Structure 1
C-alpha cells in the first residue's frame, strides 16, 4: 500500500473550520464529527494520491464525476461496504457544499456522484412479552439492590418512553421526580416532550430511594458503582446477560428496546407522525422503517376498512 500523503495546511484548516460550523450551528454530535473527519480526510488523501502531492483546496473545484467514481471504486476495492461508502459520500458532499459556497465554485462534478444502493436494515423489535421479560430479568442481574433498581429503571425508560440510551443517561438530578412528561434534548440538539408512563416514574423513584449517592441538580441521575456517571457499556452488558438468560437473539440490545417502543405503538394503532415526534426523528422516512415490520397489521386494517374489500363477494 502506498504511504499516505500528509494533507496540506489549507486542507486541514478547511476541514477544521467546516467541523466547527457543523458542531456550532447544527449541533452535530462528537461521534458524528469524528466520522465526518475520518471520511473527508480519507477522501482527500485518495485525491492527493490520484492527482499528486500538490493537491490543495483550489483543486477541489476541478474535480469531476470521474474522480468521484475512481475514489468510490478504490473504497470498494478496500472492502468498504455500500452502507459505509454511502455514509462517507454524504460527508464528502456536505463538506463540498460548504467549501464551494465559501470559495465560490460550481461543485456539480462532486455532488452529482450517486450513492451506492444498499438494503436498509429494518429494526428488529421484541414481542411485548419479551420486552417485559427483559426489564424484569435485568433487575435480577446484580446482587446490590440499588444497581439492580438502576438497571431496571434505565431499561424501563428506553421501552416505556422510547429514549435513546444517551438520552436516558443524560438525565440529571433536576429532572426528578419525573412528572407526566419530560423534555429531552436529542440528536442535533432537537428538543421534544415525551410522556412518562406511571410504571417508568415508579421504576425511577425506586432507584432514587435505593441509590447511595447524592443526586443533586447538576449531577447525572444514573450513577456507576463508584458514583460517577453511568457508562452506557454497563447497560449493554447487563442487557446481554438478560437476553442470554431468556434465550433471545443477539439483536436484543438497549436500542432494540426503543425500536420495540415504536413498533408496539404502531401495532396498537399509533399515528406515524406522532411516533416520529416521540422518537425525535428529524425525518418521517426514518420512522417509516417501522411500517415494514408490521405489514400484517396494515393488511388487516385494509381488509376491515377498505370499501372494496368489505363489499367484495366471497366467491370467485
Structure 2
C-alpha cells in the first residue's frame, strides 16, 4: 500500500506504527465499501464526512474498542484521508475523550526482584542472562522494550554509553550503569549464538531475533508469583527508571533526553507520578495522616 510506503519512507514511522496505521486504513476502506456499496479510490475518500467517520467508529466500538484505542484509530484514519487527497477539506470531528493515565512505577527492590524472578525461571542459564540484561536495560537505562531488542552487535565492546534508535528513527546517547554493562557482558559471554555487528544483540532460543512477546510473558508470570499488580509490565520498568531519577533530583530536560521524548510534555507526566508517590509516603508514614 502506498500509504504504508509513505509512512515508512517520508514520515520515518516505526514498523509497528506503519503496521497499525495500514491496518486502520484497510479497515476504513472495507467499511466504506459496505457503507456506500461502491469501490473506493482517492476521489471517493475525498467525500468522507464526519458522519461517515462516526458510523465507522461506532462499528469499531461494537468489537470492544475503548476510548484510547478509538482515539488512535481516528488519528490514523484522519492521516490516511489527508494523505489520500490533500486538496480536500478534512471532516471535522471531535475525538473520544481519553483520560490521561499516570504511570505506576514499582520500587527499586521490586524492579530488581522482578528481573531476578524472570531470569531464574528461564529454561537455560544463557536465556536467564539474556532476560536479566534486557530488563536491566529497561530499568537501568530507561529503554523501551523495542529499543532494547533492536540493539545490534555493533554496540560491542561496551563503553560508558550506547547509541539508541527510538521512535521516528531518532537517536540518542544513553549512559550505561556498571550493573547494566555487566549484565549485557554476562549475556554475551554465555549466548551460544555468534553476534555479528549487523545482527540483533538479543537472540531467541533458536537464534532468531528475540521477540518482545517472550519478555512480556516472562514478566507476566513473574509478577503473579511475586504478587505484583497487572500494571507491572516491561514498560513499567521504564516508568520506574524515570520516576526514581526525578525523585532524586534529575533535571526534567535531562530526563527528556534520556527517555527520547520529542516533547517535554511527555516527560512532565513523571512530575505527577513523583507527587503521587510522595503523597503515598506521607499518608503511610506521617503520624497525623
Residue 55 of structure 1 and its aligned partner are, at CA, apart by 4.8
Indicate the structure (1 or 2) with the bigger Cα radius of gyration. 1
What does 1:22-171 align with in structure 2 at a 5 Å threshold? 22-53=7-38, 55-101=40-86, 105-108=87-90, 110=91, 112-142=92-122, 144-171=124-151
SS in 2 for 1:139: helix
Please tell me whether the aligned partners of residues 267 and 297 of structure 1 are also in contact (alpha carbons under 8 angstroms): no
Report what 2:6 is aligned to: 21
2:261 to 281, 300, 311: 281
C-alpha deviations, 1:121-154, integer Å up to 9, x for none? 3322111221122223333223633222222111
Structure 2 gaps, min length 5: 280-289
How big is the shift at 1:229?
Answer: 2.5
Is 1:230 the equivalent of 2:210?
Answer: yes
SS at match of 1:62: coil
In structure 1, distance between residues paired with 2:57 and 2:212:
35
Query: Which of 154, 160, 165 is equivalent to 1:180?
Result: 160
Aligned length: 280
Deviation readout 1:175-229 (Å, 9 max, x if unpaired): 1122111111112111111111111111112222222332232232222333333
Give the CA deviation at 1:72: 3.2
Q: 1:214 to 1:247 in 2, by over 3 A?
A: same
**RMSD of Structure 2 on Structure 1 (CA):** 2.3
Q: CA deviation at 1:78?
A: 4.7
- The 4+ residue runs of structure 1 with deviation greater than 6 A are none
Provide the C-alpha distance between the structure 2 equivalents of 1:167 and 1:206, rounded to a whole number of angstroms.
20
Assess, with a 3 A threshold, how the Cα gap between structure 1 residues 227 and 291 changes in structure 2: closer, same or farther.
same
1:40–1:88 contact (8 Å) kept in structure 2: no
Q: Which moved more, 1:158-167 or 1:48-57?
A: 48-57
* Structure 1 runs not aligned, ≥5 long: 1-15, 300-316
